[in-house]
Amino acid sequence: MRQSVLTNEQSRLLMDEREELSNILLRLADIGAPKDALVTLQKAAVQLDELFLIVVVGEFNAGKSALINAILGEKVLAEGVIPTTTRVTLVKWGEQAGEQIVDDTFAVVNYPLPLLKEINIVDSPGTNAIIRQHERLTDEFVPRSDLVLFTTSAERPMTESERQFLERILAWGKKVVFVLNKADILENEAALQEAREYVLKNATIVLGESPVLFSVSARLAQRAALETNEVERQHLRLASRLDELEKYISTSLDDSARLQLKLQNPLGVADNLLDQMNSQIQAQSEDLKEDTTTAQSLETTISAYEHDLEIELAPRLAEVENILHKFEMRGLDFFDRTLRLTNIHNLVRGDRVRAAFEKEVLADVSQQIDLHVKQIIDWLVDKDLHEWQQVMAYLQRRQTANLDRVVSGGGNPQEVHRKELIDKVNEKMESIIESYDQVKEASHLASSVENAVAQTAICEVSAVGLGALVSTALLSSALDITGMVAAGTLAIVGFFVIPYRRKQAKDDFREKIIALRTNLNDALTGAFKHESSNAIVRLRDNIAPYTRYVHAEQERITKTQTQIDELRNSISTLRARIEMLVK
């Protein structure tokens, strides 16, 4: 398009549109738009500086080549009853007439006709031709076109192949004008009107609105061009009805209409591409719903597991503390009964006091602690295994659903990638569960707990089993009690000393047992929470590749949708400016 014919305002709009189209291309490339679609949009943007382009489509034998020759006023293209146009053919100005065969699908015809300095015309193979070159037509020239002349024959108006092809080109949002050719073969106006109504009816169904329709006879128009008798020429020209169509095309070629079509053209292509991207991202979003639900279920399950451990662990550990509390009560009662003047003959025998303490106070504390701690370990190991199985069940359900889509042929590369990812995570989960040895896990956990208790300040001794370890600490807390009373002098001053010693012994014992109980509870709580935390971290680490994929896809889809919406707004703004400029 020559810049000199544009006003300053038109020039600014053209510059802004070029800049915006460049931005759209970059952003669409960034969000993964198909390369061929980007190339199409790029070519459409280039058309802002190229000639006005008319594309003529329709069924074989509809008279497309004849119509083009009639519009040009000369026989530029070959005509015949057999398919003469087997390639997409671009008709353009050239100093010498000639045809260049570019490849099997495309040819260029040059012709020294002044009108061709203003417009380019594309002739196409019939929609019902044996050799179809529709890909090039619909993917390259229709998106670049400023006007599509959809030509159908009065012999066979609006055939099924034409209707199907019309649906293909509609996606590009092009201006489509219908031409009912060979109007002269119909017997009368009533027959012509019937044919027109048939075309309008079927075209409206596809378009959603009534189209512009011209009834012409390209054959009569060509005869008129060759006629030397002016009266007969005028008669043939009038009978051809071509003037109305040419007037419409000429009107479309005036400055404002041409500029509007030129500026709207790449925006229509961009809109179409955004529609494709939007449909694609919506489909991906729909596909991801099940993955999102699965990932949320996994997160919820693990969080619930973590919460259950926290809630259930405290009362289970309280049982161990309760054992020590009962031990404390028995110990205080033992001192009340033992440290008395009436028992002075036994107090001087420390070994008897110790034996009685072990039998009456210590009793089966060791076995009770071992039992309760073992129950906590078994509970934790069972919950851990159950959680692995539950998580794997979620993944297997998602694995089955995704496999069904891939096998049924509905799988795209994204679904194949998802399947590979789920398979890999699930395979690892199955391997862990199959090799899960509850006895071994329980033994490892018991060892960790014993080490955690032994490493605290309450015990600096070595013993076999947690119960024995704690029992040793409990007994050592009371050993010096017998030492305080095992002295012969107590027989002389016992009346004054024993009540004092009894109180002192009880206070010391209570203080030590409270400290022991607190430290042991802290050690056990810390050990079990540490092991619980490790189990949860291990679970999350193993499903992390899948959940990371889901979260990343969610972010990508949300970002892409936002960018598509922003680009749509930009295009809408440009359209509004174009409308205002034309008005």
pLDDT of residue 323: 85
Domain covering 50-266 assigned CATH 3.40.50.300 in the classification: yes
What residues are paired with 90 via a beta bridge?
Answer: 108, 122
306-321 tens-digit pLDDT: 888 888 888 988 888 8
b/e code 11-38 from CB counts within 10 Å (16+ = b): eebbeebeebbeebbebbeebebeeebb
pLDDT of 474 reads 66
Sheet hosting strand 106-111, strand order edge to edge: 98-103, 106-111, 88-93, 119-123, 52-58, 147-153, 176-181, 212-215
Every domain of the chain with CATH number 3.40.50.300 lies at 50-266
Residue pair 56/151 in contact by the 8 Å Cβ criterion: yes
Distances (CA, A) of 401 to 109, 291, 395, 516, 549: 55, 10, 10, 55, 17
Helical segments of 95-159, H only: 134-136, 142-144
Angle in degrees, CA 330, 331, 332, rounded to 5: 95
Residue 7 is classified by DSSP as: -
Task: Give me the pLDDT at residue 1, please.
Answer: 26
Which helix H or strand E contains 568, and what residues bound it? Answer: helix 490-582
* Per-residue pLDDT, 411: 54
Nearest one of 156, 165, 174, 158 to 133, comparing CA atoms: 165
Report the C-alpha gap between 131 and 2 in whole angstroms: 38
The predicted pLDDT at position 479 comes to 54
Three-state SS at 122 = strand
Residues 125 and 86: beta-carbon distance below 8 Å: yes
Residue 572, pLDDT score = 92
Residue with tokens 């892409």: 560
Q: Which helix (H) or strand (E) holds 275?
A: helix 255-338
User: From CA 14, how far away is CA 260, in angstroms rounded?
Assistant: 11
Q: What per-residue confidence (pLDDT) applies to 407?
A: 47
pTM of the model: 0.55
pLDDT of res. 225:
85
Residue whose pair of structure tokens reads 């789920």 in the numeric block: 422
pLDDT at 568: 92
pLDDT on residue 404: 56
- Report how far residue 114's alpha carbon sits from residue 383's, in angstroms, rounded to the nearest whole number: 87
Query: Which portions of the chain are predicted below pLDDT 50?
Result: 1-5, 130-131, 407-408, 460-464, 482, 484-493
pLDDT for 179: 93
d(CA 46, CA 44): 5
Return the amino acid letter for 571.
I
Quote the CA–CA distance of 526 and 449 in Å, as a whole number: 9
